[in-house]
Amino acid sequence: MSQPIGPEPRRGPPNSNPSMPQREPKTRRILVTGATGFIGRALIPALVAAGYGVRAAVRGPLPARDKDRGRDSSAGTSAFPEEQGHGWHGPSSQSLAPGENGAAAPHSLARSSPSPDEVLGARAEEEPRVEHTQVGDIGPGTRWNGALRDVGAVVHLAARVHVMAQSGSGASAEYQRVNTVGTERLALAAAETGVRRFVFLSTVKVHGEATGARAFTESDPPLPQDAYARSKWEAEQALRRIGARTGMEVVILRPPLVYGPGVKANFFSLLQAIARGLPLPIGAIDNRRSLIFVGNLADAIVKCIEHPAAAGGTFLVRDGEDLSTPELARRLARALDVRPRLLSVPPSWLSFGGWLTGRRDAVDRLIGSLAVDDSKIRAALGWGPPYTLDEGLAATARWFLARTR
């Protein structure tokens, strides 16, 4: 298995049985929802590298390893903690970090560390510091008490993701059920069981679909345009209320488009088109797009778990460089070692074509700008992306080529 980036995780006593899991102190165990998803698969190795034990919440049956080792922490059918009348208590925010005396241990993915391919290729399910818990579908009826046992912090990645083709009242209700009510239910259960910090992955779409001459900042008013973004914004508000009422520290991250090995949807389609040498009518687009490599996002999440100043914060994150759509295509082509075929079609023509085909919104996103200002997280937490944009694109291209050969 690939070596993880960061400090060597602490192991059990020298005479301990290596085949049995070592029990983590509560403050060092993190519950991760969406653990088997695109971002979760990058986050878990980063958490292990930072010295944490991970409890990975999964929908389906537990991996055989967890059952064989007696590590089934399935939530089962018992009542929610808040229904049992437990009082709230928990460790201080400093105790969440693996460092001594409340100081956050350094975990930055240093330049001398293994490549993004090695880290993101790690099989998290093979890690002795990762256990799984089956929670089923996330929503109002999810039972979290077993999953939250002895957990110091929660990272909530799981969500019903935005799909362009989905619209209407049915889709809106499902976004609400999973992303808003499901998040609120988890947060209430977490506060009742003494979880100190709750890190929530929201979306830049809370601010809107496009920027003008100025990038979005955290102080910009929310302007969600679709059911997905509204469900995330309403989840943020519910978390703030729960945090204010219970004292649980809430941290919200609003990433732009996330890419990396395992990416799907439009980014994967762009990779396919470039690799096949298809002509793309995007050469005349002059816009500005922020992106974030999944390895950089994982590092930012770890920082938000550890840093005392993250408590109560909302942060936009990005790679260190914004790109236009044609420049992104050129960089990807270089990473794929192919020549891009970009046609200079006026954006107004593209927009009209989108209107004719009923894909106006998709085209507007392609030709429009969506940039974020991440100076707040850099100043407040001292965070910077450990990988450059070109390193992230290169890792993504290598994964794509290996997958499609």
Does the active-site annotation cover 228? yes
| Candidate list 52, 175, 228, 387, residue with the active-site label | 228
pLDDT above 80: residue 367: yes
Element (H, E) at 367: helix 360-367
Give the confidence band of 1 by pLDDT, cuts at 50, 70, 90: very low
Which range (123-137, 183-197, 316-330) has the least confidence?
123-137
pLDDT at 278: 97
Determine the Cα–Cα distance for residues 197 and 402; give it in Å rounded to an integer: 38
| CA-closest candidate to residue 80, choices 174, 160, 182, 156 | 182
The pTM of this model reads 0.81
Give the confidence band of 117 by pLDDT, cuts at 50, 70, 90: low
Element (H, E) at 89: none
What percentage of residues in the chain have a pLDDT greater than 70? Answer: 74
Report whether 12 contacts 232 (CB < 8 A).
no
pLDDT above 80: residue 122: no
Which range (70-84, 175-189, 322-336, 390-404) has the least confidence?
70-84
376-390 residue pLDDT tens? 999 999 999 999 999
What percentage of residues in the chain have a pLDDT greater than 90? Answer: 63
Q: Which residue has the tokens 């929908």?
A: 59
Determine the Cα–Cα distance for residues 327 and 330; give it in Å rounded to an integer: 5
Determine the Cα–Cα distance for residues 323 and 388; give it in Å rounded to an integer: 13
Question: Which structural domains are found in the chain, ordered by start?
Answer: 26-263+291-320+372-387 (3.40.50.720)
Helices (H) and strands (E) in the chain, counts: 13, 9
Average pLDDT for the chain: 81
Q: Which residue(s) pair with 31 in the sheet?
A: 55, 154
The residue-averaged pLDDT of 115-143 equals: 74
Q: What angle do CA 315, 42, 187 make, to 5 degrees?
A: 50
pLDDT above 50: residue 109: no
Determine the Cα–Cα distance for residues 297 and 170; give it in Å rounded to an integer: 31
